[in-house]
Chains A and B, each alone.
Chain A
Amino acid sequence: MIQYSWLIPALPALAFVLIALLTKRSKGLSASISIGVMAVCLALSVCLFLHLLALDPAGRVFAMNWTWLSVPPWQANMGVLIDPLSVNMLLVVTLVSLLVQVYSLGYLQDDERLSTYYSYLSLFTASMLLLVVSTNFLQIFVGWELVGVSSYLLVGFWYFKPEAAEAAKKAFVVNRIGDVGFLMGVAAIGMTFNNFDFTQVEALVTQGVAHGTYTSGFVSILALLLFCGAVGKSAQFPLHVWLPDAMEGPTPVSALIHAATMVAAGVYMVARTFPLFSADLHAMTVVAYVGGFTALFAASIALTQDDIKRILAYSTLSQLGYMMLALGAGGYTAGMFHLTTHACFKALLFLGAGSVIHAVHSNDIWKMGALMKPMRVTGVTFLIAALAISGVPPLAGFWSKDEIFAAVRDSSVPGHQWLLAAAVFTAFLTAFYMFRLFFVVFLGEARSPQAAHESPKVMTVPLLILAVLSISAGWLNWPGWDAFSRFVYEGPAPHPESFDGVLALFSSLVALAGLTLSGLFYYWKVFSAQKAADRFHPLYLLLKNKYYVDEFYGWLVRKFTWGLASLFDWLDRQVIDGGLVDGLGRLTQDLGGLLRFTQTGSVQNYALVILAAVAVIYLCVSF
């Protein structure tokens, strides 16, 4: 079984080539190739998973390597690493991808570039799968950049909309900023260890730190350079700005980006290289604080947004912050568990939002309302997802979020009680803004100009499947059973998360409080949201404008670029043009002006000069 695992990233890549080169004319054929391939990949992943389950927990790691480039002392391999962590990701990615691709059939049925769309989707998934099965830092970087390119193509799929083109560019550029750090990290690892292989580098790091060959500070610098890449890809503060704009792409693409194939890459990479991070508390602290801050920061922005996809985008930022916080706090399995459950309910939320947008042709939540009646399936599944993300027991989000809280509580990161407070407060905000969204969109009075209708089956069936998963995925870590933790756990796990009844009760109360408060504002209308916004007007403006981070970056870039540009402008005009180009011209002109006095035009003068010259030469030769 294991020897066929390389097919998982290879098949979608093949599908991309096939669709792009051969079947572009036929929309149906292209879509079926893409979906069929994804179904095969999912089946292969499930087989791999079952295969690993049957094995002894100690022997669940398989690596195959093919030499790609050999430049002694370095060797670049392309390979497949199959272990519980990567199989978990394979399952998530192929499942969400498959459902999104099926859903897209309904969502984009009238788009004439459907074939192109499916070729991009295949490429996107292939890149993510290549990244997931990487055996070494170079391969993960290749997959990493391919994910970036295909997300650029998909976010800008409707490139004729200026906002989509801008958003695609922004996503690409912001990701590159993080990637610089990542690339430097990979290069530094190559220089230090002469090796790129995950397992070997991790062994070298562990040994090196134990023997004092490398200081833990040095290792934490490596880890933080890698983390720069994760900050970009997983949209953590301060590189979070691209993700909310990336919703300009088709909604199923947002589901894919937010749930499985893009932002999860950063979290996965940190989990994959976890021994580098856990070698030093400083690196862990940075990861935890960036994650915790992003969680709170993004959740507060989500409170005031009006665009359904934008609210979901900020909730993704916030949930990714949770995952990073969990990893930074040492909760390796908690982070991965939340990644898995989050993939289910976030894909469901986005696909549900897509279904709503499909029905009312608007993104503005204030133009929706009372959609529960005409769109029963979408409404109920959306409610399930909202409950799951808010952490209401016994849905998926509750279990994973609770493990994160437990991990943070027991963490050795300094100031972890503050992080815990931030995480719990974020949970409250999450419940509040998710149910604000739910109440406004699905309940209350109808505000949509046209009659909404339920989406076709091809869209609702993926919703139903994801809804089942959003309810049940959390049960994998049922207290005492802990199937997920025992499966994904490998190597030295610094923190065995344990279920804690008090914490669980507290966090579910917090979630319910957020939910209820949201209901008081937006359903029963006991409080007026308008009055609250007026009362705290400066705060409201600050949140509404997303803390002005975009404006600040715009200002910074403009100042910086303009400063640099005017320096170069001066250099170009004064030194290059004025000094070199014009100077050479003027020199030639002046010399010519001097020499023209010798050109009298009179032949006899020339003859005289010749005579004089001959005389001079004669004199020179004879004396």
Chain B
Amino acid sequence: MSTVPLAHFLYFALALFSIGLFGVLARKNAISVLLGVEMMLNAVNINYLAFAKYWNWNSLTGPVFVIFIIAVGAAEVAVALAIVISVYRQFKSANVDEVHALKG
């Protein structure tokens, strides 16, 4: 049985992280930014699991972290969506470029 080598997981995670980062930095829509954040989180999850699998499958540290990240990510999305909604109500827009009331 041919196994997928560790490097492939890492390349995949890197690609996912970079796409997420691009979404966070470059997209205008707040929802898209949130999607980017989620993608970055999941890229990290893949790394955790890949290292757990290839280095020490007996240790549960990596998978437990992944569970935590998923939980925290869910909570974060709940808060973030609530913020996006109230930002929309305030500015009549969900475009992050137009929300710069804290400009110094």
Contact = CB atoms under 8 A, between A and B. Distances in A.
Interface of A: 595-604, 607-608, 611
Most A CB contacts (10 A, CB to CB) among B21, B99, B100 go to B100
B82 interface: no
A608 B96 CA distance: 14
20 contacts: A595-B104, A596-B104, A599-B103, A599-B104, A600-B103, A601-B100, A601-B102, A602-B96, A602-B97, A602-B100, A603-B33, A603-B96, A603-B99, A604-B24, A604-B25, A604-B26, A604-B96, A607-B24, A607-B25, A608-B25
Interface string B84-104: 000000000000110111111
A599 to B, nearest CB: 3
Q: In the A-B complex, list the 3 residue pairs whose CB atoms are closest, starting with the nearest.
A: A599-B104, A601-B103, A601-B100
Contact of A611 (B21, B99, B100, B104): B21
Interface string B13-29: 00000000100111000
Contacts of A598: 104
A549 to B, nearest CB: 68
Contacts of B26: 604
Given A599-B103, A608-B25, A611-B21, 11 more contacts: A595-B104, A597-B104, A599-B102, A602-B96, A602-B97, A602-B99, A602-B100, A603-B96, A604-B24, A604-B96, A607-B24
Contacts of A600: 100, 103-104
A487 to B, nearest CB: 93
A611 B25 contact: yes
B44 to A, nearest CB: 14
Contacts of B21: 611
Contacts of A602: 96-97, 99-100, 103
B36 to A, nearest CB: 10
Nearest to A603: B96
Contacts of A601: 99-104
A556 B97 CA distance: 73
Nearest to B104: A599
Interface size for chain B: under 10, 10 to 19, 20 to 34, or 35 or more residues? Answer: 10 to 19
B47 to A, nearest CB: 16
Interface in B6-65: 21, 24-26, 33
Contacts of A607: 24-25
A601 B104 CA distance: 7
A34 B100 CA distance: 84
Contacts of B104: 595-601
B82 to A, nearest CB: 16
B11 to A, nearest CB: 19
Contacts of A597: 104
B99 to A, nearest CB: 8
Nearest to B37: A607
Contacts of B25: 604, 607-608, 611
A554 to B, nearest CB: 59
Contacts of A595: 104
A597 B25 CA distance: 19
Contacts of B101: 601
A165 B4 CA distance: 104
A609 to B, nearest CB: 11
Nearest to A598: B104
B93 to A, nearest CB: 14
Contacts of B97: 602, 604
A79 to B, nearest CB: 76
Contacts of B96: 602-604
Contacts of B103: 599-602
A524 to B, nearest CB: 99
A141 B33 CA distance: 85
Nearest to A608: B25
A251 B25 CA distance: 94
A616 B11 CA distance: 22
Contacts of B99: 601-603
Nearest to B103: A601
A596 B26 CA distance: 23
A598 B102 CA distance: 11
B40 to A, nearest CB: 11
Nearest to B101: A601
Contacts of A611: 21, 25
B101 to A, nearest CB: 6
Most B CB contacts (10 A, CB to CB) among A598, A607, A608 go to A607
Nearest to A592: B104
Contacts of A608: 25
B39 to A, nearest CB: 14
A468 B33 CA distance: 114
A596 B104 CA distance: 5
A151 to B, nearest CB: 67
Nearest to A596: B104
Most A CB contacts (10 A, CB to CB) among B33, B100, B103, B104 go to B104
Contacts of B33: 603-604
Contacts of A596: 104
Contacts of B24: 604, 607
A597 B104 CA distance: 7
A533 to B, nearest CB: 83
A595 B104 CA distance: 9
Contacts of A603: 33, 96, 99
A604 B97 CA distance: 8
Contacts of B102: 599, 601
A196 to B, nearest CB: 70
Contacts of B100: 600-602
A332 B103 CA distance: 90
Most B CB contacts (10 A, CB to CB) among A599, A602, A611 go to A602
A603 B24 CA distance: 10
A595 B103 CA distance: 12
A598 to B, nearest CB: 7
B9 to A, nearest CB: 21
A361 to B, nearest CB: 79
B14 to A, nearest CB: 14
A611 B21 CA distance: 9
A602 B30 CA distance: 12
A602 B27 CA distance: 12
A434 to B, nearest CB: 87
Nearest to B26: A604
Nearest to B100: A601
